[in-house]
Structure 1
Amino acid sequence: MPTTSHFAHISRHPRRTLIAQLVAGTLLLPVAASAQQAPATPVPVPAQAQAKQDAAKPVTAQAQAPAAAPAPAAPAVESTVTVTATRTQNRIDRQTYDVKADPATSNDTVADTLNKVPSVGVDADGNVTLRGRSNVQILVDGKPSAMMQGDNRAAALNALPAADLESVEVINNPGAQFGNEGGGGPVINLVMRRERSPGGFAVLNANVGTEGRYNTSAFGSYTEGRYSVQGSLFRRQDKRESSGETVRERIDPATGAIARSTQDSNGVNRNEATGFNGGLTYNLGDKDVLGATLNYSQNENDAESTERYRNTNAAGIVDNEYLRTSLRDTKNRNYGLGARLDHKGDAPGETFKVDLRVSGSDSDNAANYASVYTVRPASASAPGSRQQGDNQTRIVDFTGDYELPGEHGVWKAGYKVARNSNVFDNAYFDIDPCCGTERPNTTRTNRFELTDMTYALYGSYQWRVNDKWGVLGGLRAEYADLDMNQVTTGQRAGNHYFDAIPSAFVTYGLSDETTLRLSYAHRIRRPGAGDLNPFVVYRDEQNISSGNPNLQPASSDSLELGVETKLGKVDTNVRLYLRHESDLINERRILLANDVLLTTRENAGSSRSGGLEFNFSGRATQQLMINVNGNIGYAEQTVLGSVLDDKRSATSVSGRARLMYQMNPANSFMLMLNAQGKTLFGEGYREPSYTANLNYRRMLTPALSLTVNINDLFDSQKMESITETERLREYSTRRFGGRMAYVGLSYRFGSFGNAGGQRRPMMFGGPGGPRGPG
């Protein structure tokens, strides 16, 4: 094992200068082009993306693939492409954001796209929040997936290409068809791209960035007669640098004496991700459709970091100081298989759908640590050590859904049987500095297994009262059985829950342009596998974590009132919301001896929150389109450990502004400004953060476009958190690699379109994929 740092600083890639020059030259292209062209005719203002849906009209089943296809459409040859904002299509229980019109999609990851959806935030670590809530459930085509569970989620969101998305559905108050696994809070449904227009279609994207970054993706589909086949491939290489500072003060509650420690870190992460996604649909006849899907992805991460730690006692004397070098190697493998049957009944609109999904995720990680002590305490661990982990997640999800439209409404009913299994296998070895032999560290080695079986039934009725009023009510009954096995200690435990989960939605069409929406949902948040594992997991010398097998589900009630209208030329969407949560699954931090901080979970306290969410979109001029959305929220929650049941509160203002400028038919710019407000967690809060992204797009030919993307334009991305208890004060900040630039090409060939025959911006496909219940 090495005894010194592997690097003194993080070197810059020599390609950075070349790429910077290329970016600068590319940005000058529209200026040069304008100088050589006659004045361009004004860009026509496009019509609305879609007409407003009648608020009282029941939502019927999604149309099936056509039984027979007409002759392939002729390739599109138009040379003028108008870039529009992310389009919002609201249904009675959800908001749907059509992301295909975003010119940055050919380069972005799914995490980048989610960061553009109103009130959704994804930080640099891949953690997702919605209106400040972290217990967000992410589905893929309406179904749970192993790659979106636990620690797998962050790697998947930062690797999957946004070009594979059709739309993003945000469901703040989920209805009866959605279960409680994977968070039990609001739902974000990723609808994967589908192209079922007759004939063939394909798109190729390639981008190269600073410091050796690059990504490529391809999507293709072919539809003829009774069958449709499609697939996508992607490859991404990324590099992220980071630095951090942590100041920790330990307070003696009896004397008030303060002992202080500092921890400074620098690191670099290199990621390589590869994957594919395929699907086949076959019409057995006029009433039955078979479908199958297959996906696989692999993500490899190599990380290097150095940490300098310094601790002083209450007298100010240094009693522990060292420099630590870490080398980590992680490999994630994700797979998914799916099969479904869609059957049309004899009654108009009657459908029955059966769906089986099997998905899995394997994560292998290895880490080597080497410490050089300046001041070595008696309690210090071995200077060299090695850690190895093998985590597995398996999900089997079997659902059936029946829908029957009646004279005044639509009946829906369904069932779900699911099995979710998790294995955490961690091994830790101390290395003898004399001879290099490894000795197992039993206090840091363990294996934990969890199996979660879920059985659910649901029913709902959507009633069209009259031309103005619509009502949707539902009830879900859910039973969960958990089996926990702490293999290392031989301890087994079990738990089971039964919950009745109601939901209700009301819409009122005030006018042709104004719709009022009222919704309510009761939700249950069940603890995840990592929350329940009681064994202590080693993070570093000053930080360890463990779960709590005695955790019980937390419950929440959410109420929302919204209005959708048009103020002049501005599309307007405003929503008021209130939420109450009890028996919170909160993060508890306990300060142990030798400045070691244990982070665990417990059911403690309650929280109340509310706010105003807004979204305004319209054209300032024929060439400039502006979208502004944000959230003004208030949150209050119990301070953990408070004898007097004290409350901590915060007012948070978050917002985004998107400015899109169509310079001429061939050139467009987009500037995205993003501000995330203050948020609370168990024993502290996170400070606001700010970022900005810039995109330029130039149409070189009707089928070929060039894009330039600059992420974190002002090098402002960072994460700051503050923890305050009677015995602990901690301030932590992390900064990331900063500004990144990409230059890319996108080429589209073949026929494309949608059922309505309207052209969409180049690079973007057809109607959305299947949306099943959760």
Structure 2
Amino acid sequence: MRIFLLVLMTSLIGTSFSQGILEVRVMDEKDNPIEYANVRLLDKSDSSVVIGGYTLSSGRVTIESIPYGDFIGEITFFGYQNYYINNISFSKSDKKINLNEIQMSKLKNQNFEEVVIEGKTPLMESSIDKRTYNVGEDMTTMGGGLTELLNNIPSVEVDNDGNVSLRGNGSVTILIDGRPSAMSSGDGALEGIPASAIERIELVTNPSAKYDPDGTAGIINIVLKKKKLRGINLNVDLTAASEKLFGGNVGFNARTEKVNFYANYSFRYREGYRNNFNERTSLINDTTVFLEQNRLGTDFRRSHTVKVGSDFFISDRQVIGISASGTYNDRIRRGDQVNYESFNGDLNKYWERDMYDPRNRQSIDLNADYKLDFKEEKGNLIIAFTQSIGDELSIGEFEEYYYNPDGTPLDNPYQFQNQERTEYENTFTASADLIRNVSDKIRIDAGLKAIISEDIESNYLEYYDSISDMIVPDPNVNNELSFTQEIYSAYGIFGHQLADRFKYQVGVRLEQAFSEPRLINTNESFENNYFSLFPSAHVVYGDKKMGEIFLSYSRRINRPRAHELNPFPTYSDPLNLRQGNPALSPEYINSYELGYEKIWPKLSLTSSIYFKETVDRIQRIRQFYDDGRSVTTYANVDESYDLGVELIGTYSPFDWWKNMISINAFESRLAANINE
């Protein structure tokens, strides 16, 4: 077992940048904390609301970014008398006020017949290093899957095969509840998560050193729903649409002062179509070869997603949480493909290919975490453990019938292939994250993390041999790959507000990686161990009135995946093969971004310019052969440059009407000297 000693850096993340800070703890008459009490500051001249917040389970709330001036404090909670505090003043000499504990009294002799509580959640929220899209109530994706939901997020695209790209770059790290997960990996895994199970989606295009450095384009974090309301709560959603699309979601939680139990189940059923049309022209010696492929087929999908967990409130400042999340999804694709091959414009032959492609995937995540909030809102410590397991079975049955141009069968008119692919993933993650507010202007974060993973892929193919008239295995394709990887890291970030409108954070992440892909059939091993430094920096100038200008830099990495390393070919079409390259090295990215954001009451505008320099870029290479086959593989190229512009606007003329428009334009340049 490898042992790696991590040196914890003392320069670290995020910061609590503000002008004034108000702290208070709200209690009831029995000295029990009141959660979700509304604490607001009212302008003393006209009693208009300036800023506010809600108390946590401990009854505490900290309100930051308070402008200097004179205010009236107002605390409200349903069933209790309103509480007011006069003469609250913030200035350069009085920036932080602690009201300590405030006791609220219940209303007496009141009859409550019906209460309607309404709240508005902004469609998009921004912080110093990420954007959050609150998609829990997005009616446009009701009944759909996560892939439809992602296609509604600005600059995110999902193709027909479920591949996700961000700003035109497919190297994206997908997290579930902030952690690597088998629920987000594998073919069709994201499609299997219903949109009804999603609470919000977080985009981190230029992550700080606190985040794992994987992903050229950045990080997409999928946050599943988890109810936290007091008492017993139940909600049920059912959806149906044309073309046989059905879905449902059931959410439940029961919470007392010491325990919160929650459960969420989502189901999705869909019958669709999968049609592909492809044309390819190749020049082989003096012959022009034209291949036309037309595929018509069906695509059936069914999925179940479950999340169950409990939070145990040991004290006002300590919480232990355990949870389990899982998915189970089926996908069956059927199709008939007609292929036409022509030489110099004359039809040479054509053939029909019947395909039956069922696959099944199941995964489970087991999580445990502990959170300690320090006294006087000085920060917190979070320790978390995750075990993520997933497996997938994919079967492909293919039959081909070959004909001459006049429709008569060829000499060997029939071919048969049966392919079975399995994939098993097992990832263990342990982390410790510390946040320490040194003062109201300085914050330090530090953390340790270990990720230990194993990925086993196997492929078995058999075909009809016309000479022996038997079904025989294909030794050129059948293989098994074991890919083990251990990553140990430590990070530190320092954040500081130099002035009212100027704040920055700088950090670095140290990482040691041990990776070993091994071909079990041939007993070949390709060990690759490497140490990396990942610095980051974020600067913000401005405020909510004038808007904010932000500038950021980060260094990132894109590691080869198991299928990119496996040298044995796989295919569902014998003319279009895929195979990996075990000699691939990681690619490193220097990412820069400059942007501006302004928020009005009903309108927001976010614009940014980004530039990425990639060294040893992993590039998909397609090679063509004289027999008509094409092979797609991977190679490291010298470097590439990406320059882009992004514009996002939101407009909500009414509470029930939200509009969003986004534009993303980019240019990529690639130096294609391939490293053998």
Q: Deviations over 1:326-356 (max 9, x none)?
A: 1122110111101111123456423221111
Higher strand proportion: 2
Secondary structure of the structure 1 residue equivalent to 2:192: coil
Aligned residue in 1 for 2:613: 580
Matches within 5 A, 1:409-448: 409-431=442-464, 437-448=470-481
Q: 1:298 aligned to 2:328? A: yes
Q: Deviations over 1:592-630 (max 9, x none)?
A: 242111000000142222222222223457986543222
Native 8 Å contact 2:537 2:552 kept in 1 = yes
1:275 is matched by which residue type in structure 2?
T
Matches within 5 A, 1:212-251: 212-251=244-283
1:171–1:48 distance in 2 versus 1, CA, 3 Å: farther
Q: 1:275 aligned to 2:305? A: yes
1:556–1:532 distance in 2 versus 1, CA, 3 Å: same
1:369 is matched by which residue type in structure 2?
F
2:290 is matched by which residue type in structure 1?
R
Native 8 Å contact 1:56 1:507 kept in 2 = no
2:206 counterpart (163, 166, 173): 173
CA–CA distance in 1 between the matches of 2:487 and 2:300? 38
Q: CA RMSD in A?
A: 3.2
Deviation at 1:278, TM superposition (A): 0.9
CA–CA distance in 2 between the matches of 1:538 and 1:293? 38
Native 8 Å contact 1:56 1:466 kept in 2 = no
Aligned residue in 1 for 2:6: none
Aligned residue in 1 for 2:395: 366
CA–CA distance in 1 between the matches of 2:141 and 2:443? 36
Task: Return the index of the structure with the highest Cα Rg.
Answer: 2
1:324 counterpart (339, 345, 353): 353
Secondary structure of the structure 2 residue equivalent to 1:583: strand
1:91 is matched by which residue type in structure 2?
S
CA–CA distance in 1 between the matches of 2:485 and 2:620? 22
Aligned residue in 1 for 2:235: 203
CA–CA distance in 2 between the matches of 1:157 and 1:49? 38
1:318–1:106 distance in 2 versus 1, CA, 3 Å: closer
Aligned residue in 2 for 1:474: 507
Secondary structure of the structure 1 residue equivalent to 2:189: helix
Q: Deviations over 1:375-428 (max 9, x none)?
A: 499997961221111111111111111111102311111111111211111111
Matches within 5 A, 1:526-605: 526-566=559-599, 570-605=603-638
Secondary structure of the structure 1 residue equivalent to 2:339: strand
1:346–1:213 distance in 2 versus 1, CA, 3 Å: closer
CA–CA distance in 2 between the matches of 1:231 and 1:454? 32
Q: 1:161 aligned to 2:194? A: yes
Matches within 5 A, 1:332-411: 332-345=361-374, 348-375=377-404, 383-407=415-439, 408-411=441-444
Secondary structure of the structure 2 residue equivalent to 1:147: helix
Deviation at 1:450, TM superposition (A): 0.5
Structure with more contact order per residue of length (Cα contacts < 8 Å, sep ≥ 6): 1
The list of structure 1 runs, each at least 4 consecutive aligned residues, that deviate by more than 6 angstroms after superposition, is 47-53, 73-76, 376-382, 433-436
1:217–1:536 distance in 2 versus 1, CA, 3 Å: same
Q: Deviations over 1:469-499 (max 9, x none)?
A: 1111110011111111111222112111211
Native 8 Å contact 2:183 2:327 kept in 1 = no
1:330–1:316 distance in 2 versus 1, CA, 3 Å: same
Deviation at 1:358, TM superposition (A): 0.6
CA–CA distance in 2 between the matches of 1:366 and 1:601? 25
CA–CA distance in 2 between the matches of 1:48 and 1:250? 67
1:359 is matched by which residue type in structure 2?
S
Deviation at 1:580, TM superposition (A): 1.6
Q: Deviations over 1:156-182 (max 9, x none)?
A: 32221222222111100011121134x
CA–CA distance in 2 between the matches of 1:156 and 1:627? 27
Of 228-237 and 575-584, deviating more is 575-584
1:437–1:234 distance in 2 versus 1, CA, 3 Å: farther
Aligned residue in 2 for 1:122: 158
Native 8 Å contact 1:242 1:268 kept in 2 = yes
Q: Deviations over 1:524-568 (max 9, x none)?
A: 111111111111112312111111111111111111112121469
Deviation at 1:98, TM superposition (A): 1.5
1:370–1:310 distance in 2 versus 1, CA, 3 Å: same
Aligned residue in 2 for 1:78: 116
Deviation at 1:467, TM superposition (A): 1.9
Q: 1:494 aligned to 2:527? A: yes
Deviation at 1:70, TM superposition (A): 12
Q: With structure 1 as the length reference, what TM-score do the two structures score?
A: 0.69
Deviation at 1:291, TM superposition (A): 0.5
2:295 is matched by which residue type in structure 1?
S
Q: 1:461 aligned to 2:494? A: yes
CA–CA distance in 2 between the matches of 1:573 and 1:588? 36
CA–CA distance in 2 between the matches of 1:108 and 1:50? 35
Matches within 5 A, 1:737-748: none
Q: Gaps (5+ residues) in structure 2?
A: 1-48, 54-62, 69-103
Secondary structure of the structure 1 residue equivalent to 2:275: strand
Aligned residue in 2 for 1:696: none
1:560–1:135 distance in 2 versus 1, CA, 3 Å: same
Q: 1:260 aligned to 2:290? A: yes
Q: Deviations over 1:77-99 (max 9, x none)?
A: 539x79x7862221111111112
CA–CA distance in 1 between the matches of 2:248 and 2:50? 32
2:494 is matched by which residue type in structure 1?
Y
Q: Deviations over 1:424-461 (max 9, x none)?
A: 11111123579984311111211111001111111111
CA–CA distance in 2 between the matches of 1:112 and 1:48? 37
1:211–1:165 distance in 2 versus 1, CA, 3 Å: closer
Native 8 Å contact 1:184 1:525 kept in 2 = yes
Native 8 Å contact 1:349 1:404 kept in 2 = yes
Q: Gaps (5+ residues) in structure 1?
A: 1-46, 58-68, 643-774
1:48–1:104 distance in 2 versus 1, CA, 3 Å: farther
CA–CA distance in 1 between the matches of 2:296 and 2:303? 23
Q: 1:92 aligned to 2:92? A: no
Q: 1:309 aligned to 2:342? A: no
Native 8 Å contact 2:143 2:241 kept in 1 = no
Number of residues of Structure 1 aligned to a counterpart in Structure 2:
575
Native 8 Å contact 1:185 1:524 kept in 2 = no
Native 8 Å contact 1:242 1:266 kept in 2 = yes
1:518–1:538 distance in 2 versus 1, CA, 3 Å: same
1:514–1:549 distance in 2 versus 1, CA, 3 Å: same
CA–CA distance in 1 between the matches of 2:409 and 2:52? 68
Aligned residue in 2 for 1:33: none
Deviation at 1:306, TM superposition (A): 1.1
CA–CA distance in 2 between the matches of 1:48 and 1:439? 76
Q: With structure 2 as the length reference, what TM-score do the two structures score?
A: 0.79
Matches within 5 A, 1:1-12: none
Secondary structure of the structure 2 residue equivalent to 1:195: coil
2:132 is matched by which residue type in structure 1?
T
Deviation at 1:208, TM superposition (A): 2.2
Native 8 Å contact 2:238 2:247 kept in 1 = yes
CA–CA distance in 2 between the matches of 1:70 and 1:639? 72
Native 8 Å contact 2:230 2:254 kept in 1 = yes
CA–CA distance in 2 between the matches of 1:76 and 1:125? 49
